[in-house]
């Protein structure tokens, strides 16, 4: 009987020690998870809220490209307009030559 009492004491003692170790491991694990989660949030916040320089650069590039395309289109339109006006001036019948 003495032997079984010692065994029960040892089993419960070991169980208490293991439970304590398990609690410590769980607490450390939860601290690491919480720390990782906070760092993940910070990274996400920095990624989405600190990209103003990149967005401004992309917008400026887009605006510049659009402005260049617009300027080229305006040049083509002005050239065609000048050709049309010259043709109209040349073929204008101000003097009534065609009516005679």
Residues 34 and 60 in one domain: no
pLDDT mean over 13-32 = 90
The larger pLDDT score, comparing residue 91 to residue 37, is at 37
Whether 100 shows a pLDDT value over 50: the answer reads: yes
If asked whether residues 77 and 96 sit together in one domain, one would say yes
Stretch 75-94: mean pLDDT = 88
**In the chain, what percentage of residues exceed pLDDT 90?**
48
Provide the residue range defining the domain that includes 98.
Answer: 53-100
3-class state of residue 98 by DSSP: coil
Are 46 and 57 found together in one domain? no
Residues 65 and 45 in one domain: no
Look at residue 49 in the predicted model and tell me its pLDDT.
74
Q: How many domains does the chain have?
A: 2
26 lies in the same domain as 46: yes
Same domain, 66 and 46: no
SS3 74: helix
pLDDT above 70 (res 75): yes
Cβ-based neighbours of 93, under 8 Å, separated by 6 or more: 99
Tokens encoding 50: 């600190």
User: 78 pLDDT band (50/70/90 cuts)?
Assistant: very high
69 and 39 inside one domain: no
- Tell me the pLDDT of the chain averaged across its residues: 84
């Amino acid at each position: 009987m003495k032997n079984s009492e010692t065994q029960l004491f040892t089993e419960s003692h070991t169980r208490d020690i293991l439970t304590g170790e398990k609690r410590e491991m769980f607490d450390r694990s939860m601290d690491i998870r919480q720390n990782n989660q906070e760092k993940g949030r910070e990274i996400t916040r920095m990624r989405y809220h600190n990209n103003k320089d990149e967005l401004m650069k992309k917008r400026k590039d887009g605006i510049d490209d659009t402005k260049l395309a617009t300027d080229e289109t305006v040049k083509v339109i002005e050239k065609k307009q000048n050709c049309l006006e010259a043709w109209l001036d040349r073929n204008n019948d101000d003097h009534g030559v065609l009516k005679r």
